[in-house]
Chains A and B, each alone.
Chain A
Amino acid sequence: MENTNMPKKSPFSLQVDLSKFEKATDEEKRQQDVMSESTTFFKDGMRKLMKNPLAVASIIVLVLIIGTIIIAPMVVPYSYSDIISVGGKRDKTAKNLAPFTYSKKEQSYMDETGEKLFPHIMGTDSMCRDYFIRVVYGTRISLVVGLFASILVLIIGVFYGSVSGYFGGRADLIMMRVVDIIYSLPDMLIIILLSVVLNETLSNTQNPIIKTLGTNMVSIFIVFGLLYWVGMARLVRGEILKIKSNEYILAAKAVGAPSGRIIRTHVIPNCLSVIIITTALQIPSAIFTESFLSFVGMGVKAPMPSLGSLANAAREGLQSYPLQLVFPSVTIVLIVLAFNLLGDGLRDAFDPKLRR
């Protein structure tokens, strides 16, 4: 036995024979250097997100689309609601032009004055309006609806879910039964129904906000606020319940951390990823719903375009002018695809359960 020649002082004291040790060389010291920099949850997630080519491509597509809808109305000299006018006169010949072509009047005007008119990038529609600017405004509407509806869902859902999760017990039981019932309602039907009703009841209102937005937009938001938050509420409640029962919460409580600190440093950061991911995936679903409603004829008020109503209007001239359908449709698909892929990428990057 090696230990026999050691003096038995105390079983807990270390008997170290210094002569058996040697000093570490510089090379060996360097091995102890921290190889990877310390990182935060957010930084780490972003690094992973940027490594995902699909997510990066979606971000680029979204940035391009958002850039276009911000810049285009400043550059393009046409308006989404007015007939194209040449030299101050309305040009009724500029009907259903093909992309990058000019009407007869525009052509002769250009020949006379030598001035170059701005091209119709996507042609014109059946009411002699520049189609590109209509698609741009339609995209604006669709994105704004998607974004605001998602924020609405975020606020209501997170609030309801966290209250239900924190208080637990009877309050939780009742609140979750309400969610169950709303969850089992066929959302699309209720949306259509409420839109019909709200349209009629709000149409005579003098409220300036409702007037500028149009009753259909307001009803879309109301419906989202009433129905769509339940998914988010369920998720947040589930997350909070799960986090509450974790050992690190117990550990934090055991070392005497106040509940405010536990909520700030443990509960919220762990919920955040789920909330962000769900919101990112909520946007395309809201855009879907809005375009569906517009397509059924209950979307934004004419002449304001949305991508759905543009596609719907293009159906009439489908045989002769299929491009008028292609442009808004492709835009919807691109936006929804980009948000879906970005949402997936965010989930892969930020979901703690998927971390290795």
Chain B
Amino acid sequence: MSKYLVKRILLAVLSVLVICVITFFAMNAVPGGPFNSEKALSEATKAALEKRYNLDKPLTTQFFLYMGNMLRGDFGVSLKTGRDIRGTIMECFAVSARIGGLAALFALIIGVVCGAIAALFRNKWPDRLIIFLTTLFTAMPSFVFATFLLMIFCIQLKLLPVWNASNESLILPVIALAAYPTAYITRLTKTSMLDALGQDYIRTARSKGVPTIKVIFKHALRNALIPVITYIGPMLAYILTGSLVVENIFTIGGLGQQFVKSITNRDYPMIMATTIFLAVIMVIMNLLSDILYKVVDPRIKLD
């Protein structure tokens, strides 16, 4: 176990490093420095500014300086607003994390329940209905689904208000974000539940006279949940990237909207910081879900 842990953590650290390198050097490959603005600066001012922000040093030195600052929690300032990037990211992430967390919870609960139902009613109408819906949702990009939700519930039916600062109706963004993961988890749970129901220990439990409810919940569902754990990491990654689109459609001031805004503004320090921040979160989530998977299922061989 400890060998696996060390290996897995090393891989995660390496991935984070690769992401930082890619992001930093990619952003620096963009032609035009931060001081090539509309107002032409005198050579002296430019040199002074570059010295102030260490831009006169070689790129590798700049990279290590940036990394050092980042580890101390200093991402620099936004080119557009001049505000401290860390503050902006934390502020926006709080909003995104709330919606994303709710979406993840929604997807897990609904997905597992629907998957279990589909497996228990195999080839009957509940199964067919659930599989039809999941097939549809896995083929629908999140922006299509989110815009349709907005169109139907906010504009046509006027049932729910459009999101704004004073009126935080989280239902639609959460559903829009959760649609794809829910469909995926449903399929995953159905397959693993069918697999679990065919196992010998289920037959043993049944022949012992264990009540059906107990067989389903204690023996089948518990084992069927193991593959779902592996999906938690990718799901959170999906929800984070999905938030780029969903937050824009529902005009929620989260990290996703901030990221897209910084792209359209060409606010490079902001893009760099947000990318690294999101990527680190995704890598950590993947790491945690992988470790959790090994902890939960002792049958899995560690190599």
> B29: nearest residue on chain A (CB-CB)?
A197
Q: Is the CB of A292 within 8 A of B141?
A: yes
Assess A318 versus B26: contact at CB under 8 Å? Given A292-B245, A340-B139. no
- At the interface, yes or no: A74 with Cβ under 8 Å from chain B? no
Determine the chain A residues whose CB is within 8 A of the CB of B144 once the complex forms.
311, 329, 332-333
Contact indicator per residue, chain B 128-140, by CB within 8 Å of chain A (1) or not (0) = 0000000110111
When distances are taken between beta carbons in the complex, the residues of chain B under 8 Å from A322 are 151, 155-156
Residues of A within 8 A of B244 (CB): 188, 192, 296
Task: For residue B209, give the distance in angstroms from its CB to the closest CB of chain A.
Answer: 34
User: Which residues 232-276 in B have Cβ within 8 Å of A in the complex?
Assistant: 237, 240-241, 244-245, 248-249, 259-260, 263-264, 266, 271, 275
Q: How many residues of B sit at the interface, in one of the four size bands?
A: 35 or more
Binding-face segment, B33-41, B72-80, B279-287? B279-287
> Given the complex of chains A and B, what is the CA–CA distance between A196 and B237 in angstroms?
20
Select which of B30, B141, B259 is within 8 A of A288 by beta carbon.
Answer: B141
| B143 contacts the other chain (CB 8 A) | yes
CA distance A190 to B278 in the complex (A): 11
Is B141 a contact of A332 with CB atoms below 8 Å?
Answer: yes
The total of interchain contacts (Cβ-Cβ below 8 angstroms) comes to 117
Which residues does chain A contribute within 8 Å of B278, judged by CB atoms? 186, 189
B-chain residues with CB within 8 Å of residue A192 when the two chains form the complex: 244, 259, 263, 275
Complex contact B143–A196 (CB within 8 A): no
B151 touches A318 (CB 8 A): yes
Q: Would A189 and B135 count as touching, CB distance under 8 A? A: no
Stretch from A9-17, A79-87, A158-166, A177-185 at the B interface = A177-185
Question: In whole angstroms, how far apart are the Cα atoms of A119 and B22 in the complex?
Answer: 50
Docked-complex contact B241 and A296, CB < 8 angstroms = no
B 14-46 binary contact with A (CB < 8 Å = 1; else 0): 110011001100110111100000000000000
Most B CB contacts (10 A, CB to CB) among A194, A197, A319, A337 go to A197
Given contacts A181-B11, A185-B279, A296-B263, A341 and B135 within 8 Å (CB-CB): yes
Does chain B have a CB within 8 A of A201?
yes
What distance in Å separates the Cβ of B226 from its nearest Cβ neighbour in chain A? Answer: 21
Chain B proximity mask over A189-210: 1 for CB below 8 Å, otherwise 0 = 1101110110011001000000
Is A77's CB within 8 Å of the partner chain B? no
**In the complex, A289→B160 CA distance in Å?**
30
Given A201-B31, A297-B264, does the pair A337, B139 have CB atoms closer than 8 Å? yes
Alpha-carbon gap, A319 to B156, bound state (A): 8
A286 near B: Cβ within 8 Å? no
Q: By the criterion CB–CB under 8 Å, are B18 and A201 in contact?
A: no
Given known A197-B30, A332-B141, contact A340–B263 (CB-CB < 8 A): no
Per the CB 8 Å criterion, the residue count for chain A at the interface is 39
How far is B135's CA from A284's CA once the two chains are assembled, in angstroms?
13
Instruction: Report if A315 contacts B (CB, 8 A).
Output: yes
Contact B26 A186 (CB under 8 A): no
Q: Which of A184, A333, A341 contacts B140 (CB 8 A)?
A: A333
B150 at the interface (CB under 8 A from A): yes
Q: Is B164 an interface residue (CB 8 A)?
A: no
**Any B CB within 8 A of the CB of A109:** no
User: Which chain A residues border B148 with CB–CB below 8 Å?
Assistant: 325, 329
Closest chain A residue to B19 by CB distance?
Answer: A185
**A284 and B139 in contact (CB under 8 A), knowing A184-B11, A201-B29, A201-B31?**
yes
Chain A min CB distance to B15 (Å): 4
- Which residues does chain B contribute within 8 Å of A273, judged by CB atoms? none
Q: Is B113 an interface residue (CB 8 A)?
A: no
A296 contact set on B, CB distance < 8 A: 244-245, 248, 260, 263
Shortest distance in angstroms between B145's beta carbon and chain A's nearest beta carbon? 9
Contact of A340 among B19, B32, B135, B282 (CB under 8 A): B135
Least CB separation from A195: chain B residue: B263
Judge whether A180 and B11 touch: CB under 8 Å.
yes
Report the separation of the CA atoms of residues A192 and B275 in the bound assembly, to the nearest whole angstrom: 9
A298's partner among B26, B30, B263 (CB-CB below 8 A) is: B263
Chain B residues with Cβ below 8 Å from A186 are 19, 237, 240-241, 278-279, 282-283
Q: Is A189 within 8 A of B15, CB to CB?
A: no
The verdict on A193 contacting B143 (CB below 8 Å), with A181-B11, A329-B148 known, is no
Q: With A and B bound together, what is the CA distance between A337 and B135 in angstroms?
A: 7
Q: Which residue of B lies closest to A294 (CB)?
A: B143
Across the interface, which residues of A come within 8 angstroms of B156, CB to CB?
Answer: 322
Q: Is the beta-carbon distance between A325 and B143 smaller than 8 angstroms?
A: no
User: Quick check: is B123 within 8 A (CB to CB) of the other chain?
Assistant: no
Contacts of B150 in A (CB 8 A): 318
> Whole-angstrom distance between the alpha carbons of A325 and B155 in the complex?
14
Give Cα distance in the complex from A181 to B23, angstroms.
15
Question: Does B204 lie at the interface of the complex (its beta carbon under 8 Å from any beta carbon of A)?
Answer: no
Taking CB atoms, residues of chain B closer than 8 Å to A282 are none
Identify which of B27, B240, B249 contacts A197 (C-beta below 8 A). B27
Contact B29 A318 (CB under 8 A): no
Report whether B30 and A201 are in contact in the complex, using a CB–CB cutoff of 8 Å. yes
Smallest beta-carbon distance B289→chain A, Å: 12
Q: Is A55 an interface residue (CB 8 A)?
A: no
B12 beta carbon closer than 8 Å to chain A: yes
> In the complex, which residues of chain B have a beta carbon less than 8 angstroms from the beta carbon of A292?
141, 143, 245
What are 22 sample pairs from A and B whose C-beta atoms fall under 8 A apart?
A181-B15, A181-B18, A185-B15, A186-B241, A188-B244, A189-B279, A192-B244, A193-B275, A196-B30, A196-B271, A197-B27, A197-B29, A200-B266, A201-B30, A284-B139, A295-B245, A308-B143, A312-B143, A318-B147, A322-B156, A333-B144, A336-B140
Q: 9 more A-B contacts (CB under 8 A) besides A193-B23, A201-B29?
A: A184-B12, A186-B282, A186-B283, A192-B259, A292-B245, A312-B143, A315-B249, A332-B144, A340-B135
Cβ-closest 7 pairs across A and B:
A337-B139, A188-B241, A336-B139, A184-B15, A329-B144, A186-B282, A197-B26
